[in-house]
Amino acid sequence: MNLSVLLAVVLGLALLGAVAALILTERKTPAAAPPRRPASAHVKGREALDAIDLGLRKLAAGCVRAGRALPDVYAVVYSGDHLTLRLAGADPDAPEPWSADDSGEEWTVDSARLGGGDFGDAGAAQPYSLAVTVGLDQGDRVMVDLSRASSAIAVTGSGRDAQQLVRAFVTELITGPVGRLAEVTLVGSAASAEMTAGLGLRSARLNTVATLEEALARGGDMSHADSPVSSSAVTQVFRLIEGSSPVTVQGRAPRLIVLDAAQFADEKAAVKGLDASDALLVLGDAADSGWRFEVGADGSLDTGPLGLRIDVHAGRLS
């Protein structure tokens, strides 16, 4: 074999080795996560909550006009341009101006179509009063109706991060437009100075009690609701909600009850007194929880069985 042939063979083998090494390197390198799309002020600010509140109340009005039940909504996604409802089951009969996707499990409306028009006295009531922002997904605001959980909702992660998220829930319910009918009760250590630091809230709809039994015995008082409509209008809207969806009765406000995992373990026998329109939030791991929200150190949120992707949780939006 002459020298030129030998050199060609050596160079060929070297080239093959380099290509193989490059392929192996590419296989070992994980795909980069897509860059986060920053949320606009229209999505993060109070005006987003106002738009969502208007959309949900107009949805109630449309259902009243159509003589149909409210959809079984578990999540709401707002991009600024569109408002999307995610339903727990297929429901293709969306009232105007909403449109259902092919599966019937998502209803969408252009935000521009929510303005103007008369939506009636009954439609002025908010039918999803325990819907709160859980965070952002690629710049879109995501809300979850906490009353859809069949049992307790566990919020896990570092103590500080979990408290930050729960404080965001409480603040939004007490100060935001969507939660104007809701009442919040902090139980035991959930009402500690560490937990309530930064809330800065003084509201007749924010209560503190010592035990879960006491919280359940209180009952929500609709006289404290920040609602511009009559209780009969509220009742008319909630009569449209059937099956496993949240319900309420005249004179009873939806309630969010918050307590820590240790107290929940000691007092969970009292949970049988929780109404279908209420939600129970547990700070820490709870073996009997229906939903589990795990706060990541990077600010993300794992929503467990809900399957919602959240890259920035609500506690980090302020």
Domain that holds residue 140: 41-316
User: Is 193 domain-assigned?
Assistant: yes
In 10 A of CB 196, how many CB atoms? Answer: 17
Does residue 34 form part of some domain? no
**Residue 246: its pLDDT value, please?**
40
Within-domain flag for 239? yes
**Residue 193: enclosing H or E segment and its boundaries?**
helix 193-196
Q: For residues 282 and 145, is the Cβ–Cβ distance under 8 A?
A: no
290 in a domain, yes or no?
A: yes
Look at residue 15 and tell me if it is in a domain. no
Residue 113 belongs to some domain of the structure: yes
Task: Provide the number of structural domains found in the chain.
Answer: 1
Provide the CB-side half-sphere exposure for 251 (13 A, CA): 1
Check residue 201 and give its pLDDT.
63
Q: Tens of pLDDT along 24-45?
A: 444 444 444 455 556 667 888 8
Under a CB-based contact definition with an 8 Å cutoff, are residues 246 and 274 in contact? no
Residue 280 domain-assigned (yes or no): yes
Number of other residues whose CB lies within 10 A of the CB of residue 124: 18
Task: Report whether 180 contacts 170 (CB < 8 A).
Answer: no
**Residue 31 one-letter amino acid:** A
Q: Tokens representing 10?
A: 């050596």
Contact 225, 205 (CB under 8 A): yes
In this predicted structure, what is the pLDDT of residue 276?
86
Residue 306 lies in a domain: yes
Q: Which residues of the chain have pLDDT under 70?
A: 1-40, 116-124, 197-202, 219-251
The token duo for 187 is: 């139980």
Q: How many other CB atoms are found less than 10 A from the CB of residue 194? A: 10
